[in-house]
Chains A and B, each alone.
Chain A
Amino acid sequence: MTLRLLTLAAACLFAVSAQAVTVGTAAPDFTLPDSNGKAHSLSEYKGKTVVLEWNNPGCPFVQKHYSSGNIPKQQADATGAGVVWLTINSGADGKQGHMDGAGANAFVAQFNAKPSAYLFDGDGKVGHAYGAKTTPHMYIIDGGGVLRYMGGIDSIASSDKEDLGKATQYVPQALAELKAGKAVSVATSQPYGCGVKYGS
């Protein structure tokens, strides 16, 4: 109870911030098309935990976490437990990693990835609304629409697969804590990776 009050107090303190999004406050709603042309809104997943993953298949950091199987496994585990996992590409037309739907589906198939959907945000509006800076950059939103985690995929900023074994994977850790009704122990971390390839 005390913890909850503290969390609420922290949320109030942060509410005055001009930051894009803040842990403990409502995550902005959005609607984006997926790789098969279907629209997805954050609000349609109310009641479910949602993971947002910023993606650029051409980025070496993204490749580290896909070719090692790290992100595909996290996706499979999360979606298997009823979590909605939305992979988002904010790469502008002509920039690295910008793709069409078929390209995204081929990428997903290549790594046996298991996102609920692969979404396109070519004008960068959703990326900007969330303050997404890197690929990967991760966000977790609870069933009440409140942001519970924002930051890096894990605790060791590197492009080397050999560092994966030593790193704390923040998303599965936070998902497990949320499921158990616990406070998220690491609710923000510094993201690392390539810059999101927004249009100019």
Chain B
Amino acid sequence: MRLLAASLLLANLLFAAAASAVETVPAQVHSDHISVSLLSEHDALVPGTSAWFGLRLQHDAHWHSYWINPGDSGLPTRLTWQLPEGFSAGEIAWPVPKRFNVGELFNFGYDGDVVLPVQIEVPANATGDSAHVEVQAKWLVCQEECIPGKATLGMDLPLRAVSVGSAAADAIDAARHAQAQHGLWKATAKLVDNRIEVTLRGANLGDGQGIDAFAVDSKVIANAAPRVEQRDGAIVLSFAKSDYFTTAPHALHLLVLPPGAPAVDVRAFFPTSS
């Protein structure tokens, strides 16, 4: 039985090797507890414009992968693009993640069906009938135990003067709009003993009940939910300092999640003089 499994695996590997030799990289792979696919928002690429792509992660029930700050354990999903000359890919526009607590460890990531959008610039001087877009994706998928995975995904798209939305357009559009809002609130940060206090001011802050916040950067605050209080018309979020804190950064980059409202991207500035 084990021999059969091994020979099937070998056959798959040989098939995969043969497939890559003729440059037909799949657009989707099924791996342990996750399916991963490459999506394009449009049916063609238009020279001189930017185009949205997405890595779709479909997790088995109870399994999750990670945000740019994975939290106490885990690893963020990473993408390495192989693009035609002159093309360039941006960073992942991370959708707002969820909090996952396993025991006393705090993590941030995604479950269910999620798309990580990436913008690709198509140069004005792109020539030819089509372009091959390829990405190597690496992820870690965990329930309590974790399984690392990687895949190379690709697709050929025609180069044309106009394009129309593809079947994946809605999914990518939804992911692009699942981003935190910027610039809504003013925030400052300060060290108070072994804690870091972030003071938020602005419209529609409410009373702070049920508010949560995740640090985009690691090594500043611990990943547990903050203590929240109202003080002089502001909302103060008090976090334990990260165990790995060394010095305060210029600003702490946070996502603030008010209950029942869209997340807000906040930069909480530390005092400039020390």
Residues of A bordering B, CB below 8 Å: 16-20, 58-61, 95-96, 131, 133-134, 150-151, 157-160, 188-198, 200
Select the residue from B103, B107, B240, B241 with max chain A CB neighbours within 10 A: B103
Which of B6-14, B23-31, B139-147, B180-188 contacts the other chain?
B139-147
Residues of chain A lying within 8 A (CB to CB) of residue B174:
none
> Using Cβ atoms and an 8 Å threshold, which residues of chain A touch B104?
198
Per CB-CB distance, the 8 closest pairs between chain A and chain B, nearest first, are A159-B148, A195-B73, A17-B194, A195-B105, A133-B72, A188-B244, A134-B73, A96-B145
Measured CB to CB, the closest approach of chain A to B65, in angstroms, equals 13
Cβ–Cβ contact B145 & A150, under 8 A: no
Q: Does B246 contact A59, Cβ atoms closer than 8 Å?
A: no
Q: Which of A19, A58, A59, A198 contacts B241 (CB 8 A)?
A: A19
B244: which of A17, A189, A196, A197 is its contact (CB, 8 Å)?
Answer: A189
Q: In the assembly, what is the distance between CA of A95 and CA of B143, in Å?
A: 12
Interface string of B120-145 (1 = CB under 8 A from A): 00000000000000000010101011
CB distance from A188 to the nearest CB of B (A): 5
A200 to chain B: which residues have CB within 8 Å? Answer: 103
A195-B140 Cα distance, complex, nearest whole Å: 12
Q: In the complex, A60→B73 CA distance in Å?
A: 12
Chain A interface helix/strand/loop/mixed:
loop
What bracket does the count of chain B residues touching chain A fall in? 20 to 34
B98 at the A interface (CB under 8 A) = no
Task: Please encode chain B, from 30 to 44, with 1 for each CB lying within 8 Å of some chain A CB and 0 for all others.
Answer: 000000000000000
Contacts of A198 in B (CB 8 A): 103-104
- Rounded to whole angstroms, the CA-CA distance of A60 and B139 in the bound complex is 12
Bound Cα distance from A19 to B194, whole angstroms: 8
Q: Cβ of A194 and Cβ of B145 under 8 Å apart?
A: yes
B194 touches A18 (CB 8 A): yes
Query: Could you tell me if B194 and A190 are in contact, using CB atoms closer than 8 angstroms?
Result: no
* Contact across chains for B105 and A157 when beta carbons are under 8 A apart: no
Docked pose: A57 CA to B174 CA in angstroms: 40
CB contact under 8 A between A188 and B75, given known A18-B194, A58-B145: no
For A158, list chain B residues within 8 Å (CB): 75, 138
| Interfacial chain B residues near A157, Cβ < 8 Å | 75
